[in-house]
Structure 1
Amino acid sequence: MYIIRDPKILYNKVKKIHKKNNTIALIPTMGNLHLGHIKLIEVGQKNADKVIVSIFVNPMQFKNLNDSKKYPRSLKEDFKKLKLNNVDIVFCPRLKKMYLNNFIDQIFVNIPSSYNILESKNRPYHFKGVMTIVSKLFNIISPEIACFGKKDFQQLFFIKKLVIQMNYNIQILGVPIVRDNDGLALSSRNILLNSKERKIAPEIYKTIKWISKKINKNNLKNNNFLKKAYKNLVKHGFKIDILTIRDSKTLNKKLTKKTSSIIILCSAWIGKVRLIDNLEMLLKN
């Protein structure tokens, strides 16, 4: 397994891989790896000849630099896990190599204002940082495939649009959420939960599953069950940012007769940790 910290060195390594007609799957991460990341790697290995995992805590997708410094890091353990899972290359660049001149005159990739909804509305800085760093990784590595978890559903939605609109010749694979035994979606931030919060955290998934059982095409407009779900989460101690039902193909709030699948989205704070989860489902006629 190669550990590379310089984009130029990786660029040259990638050129040699492509010269041998080998395909590359990219797995972008911010480290502190868990079984969800391992699942992404497995999907990448099934669909490409070589797998490159990037580890970079991207400060531009946090509210400020102090927030990014609080993100859990476990680089040595990450390297061990990646080696055990036969990853070919780990790209772990230094900040100055990805953002020159300390962000002065930095060019960013923005999403259109028409998509200032959900996570974009709550964290307007976030997706500008995500789209910029993902574009940088795509430009350095030129992967044939890139794998992203479906837990970050809106992120996946935007990345698919990025690839189409910026003419990247990359196949984006969305990988299902990996959960703990009690249903909690695996996340690098889960390690920040104290024991009491960890016991409460699975209530998010229980609640969105309860919502899914209440849904059918006839009652989507009468969403009293959504209000009950909201109250239930508040009762358990959550501060809710998002709890909504959207068209999974458009993220539109307005559902029509043409809506064939929906996504139940939830973002909520428990203590100082922000958790996100979702459940996608087909609508029965």
Structure 2
Amino acid sequence: MKTIRDIHTLHDVLQGFKQDGETVALVPTMGGLHKGHMSLVQLASEYAERVVTSVFVNPTQFGPSEDFEDYPRTFETDRRKLSRGGVDILFAPSHEEVYPFGADNMTLVSVPGLSTILCGEHRPGHFDGVTSIVNRLFNTIAPDVAVFGQKDYQQLAIIRRMVADLHMPIKILASPTYREKTGLALSSRNRYLTDDERERANELYATLCDCRDQYPGSGQALADLEQSCIERLVRAGFKPEYFSVRQSGDLQLPNQGSRYLVVLAAVRLGETRLIDNVLFEVNGL
């Protein structure tokens, strides 16, 4: 595995791949890698001859009071995991390499509508930072395939919209959420949880699954179910930001004809923000 930190060298190596007729998959990450990330790498290797993984803690997707300074930075451990996982290139650029004119003066890529609901309502500007860095990585690497985790479902939907709207010739793959045996979705931020909080955190996934199983259709019955799920999480010690059933394609509110759905939630547990979701399909409503 080659570790590359500058775009010029990266382009030279990628050009060699393309001259040999090899396809390239990109797995963008912010590091702090766990088994969920490695499942993305595995999926990428099934769809392309060459795999590039980026490790870059992107400052533009963090709010002023969020955990940018404390976000896990475990580069050497990450590098060993990626090498064992068969990655061809680890791209680990500096902030100056990614934002040559500074992050405050960057060209912004924004997906309206989808970026300001759900997580976007509680983290203003977050998704603009996400789409801007992902667009830069797409422009820099020009992958044939890019892989994202389903756990960050709203992010996945926004990136799919960006790719479609900008006519990018990139196939977006979603890798299923990797969970502990208890159901807790793996996240780099899980390391912030205390032992007691980690045990209680399992209730989030259980509540999502129960909402899926009890889905009554759209309207007041759904609003009542969502509210009961929020109250259940509060009793378990969470501070919910939202708990909502949406259409999985466009994240709009469901109607009686909606078939493909996703129930999403974001909560605070102690000092840790957790997100999760469950996809499901309904018939005959």
Partner of 2:249: 249
Q: What do the CA deviations read for 1:58-108 (whole angstroms, capped 9, x no partner)?
A: 000000387311101111110111111111110011111111233243211
How far, CA to CA, are the matches of 2:229 and 2:258 in structure 1?
23
Partner of 1:81: 81
Cα deviation, residue 216, structure 1:
4.1
Partner of 2:269: 270
Q: Could you tell me which amino acid in structure 2 is paired with residue 267 of structure 1? A: A
How far, CA to CA, are the matches of 1:142 and 1:101 in structure 2?
22
Matched-pair contact (CA < 8 Å) for 1:216–1:284: no
Describe how 1:96-245 pairs up with structure 2 within 5 A: 96-113=96-113, 115-217=115-217, 221-223=220-222, 224-245=224-245
How far, CA to CA, are the matches of 1:116 and 1:226 in structure 2?
20
Matched, 1:281 2:273: no
Secondary structure at the counterpart of residue 81 of structure 2: helix
How far, CA to CA, are the matches of 1:21 and 1:3 in structure 2?
22
Partner of 2:258: 259
Partner of 1:58: 58
Which stretches in structure 1 are left out of the alignment for 5+ residues? none
Matched-pair contact (CA < 8 Å) for 2:60–2:103: no
Matched, 1:35 2:32: no
TM-score, scaled relative to structure 2: 0.96
Q: What do the CA deviations read for 1:153-188 (whole angstroms, capped 9, x no partner)?
A: 110001011111112100000111010010000000
Q: What do the CA deviations read for 1:20-45 (whole angstroms, capped 9, x no partner)?
A: 11000100000011111111011100
How far, CA to CA, are the matches of 1:134 and 1:145 in structure 2?
13
How far, CA to CA, are the matches of 2:176 and 2:58 in structure 1?
23
How far, CA to CA, are the matches of 1:114 and 1:276 in structure 2?
17
Matched-pair contact (CA < 8 Å) for 2:28–2:53: yes
How far, CA to CA, are the matches of 1:244 and 1:167 in structure 2?
30
Matched-pair contact (CA < 8 Å) for 2:31–2:57: yes
Which stretches in structure 2 are left out of the alignment for 5+ residues? none
How far, CA to CA, are the matches of 2:104 and 2:35 in structure 1?
37
Q: Could you tell me which amino acid in structure 1 is paired with residue 262 of structure 2? A: I
How far, CA to CA, are the matches of 1:66 and 1:235 in structure 2?
25
Identity of aligned residues (%): 36
Matched-pair contact (CA < 8 Å) for 2:246–2:263: yes
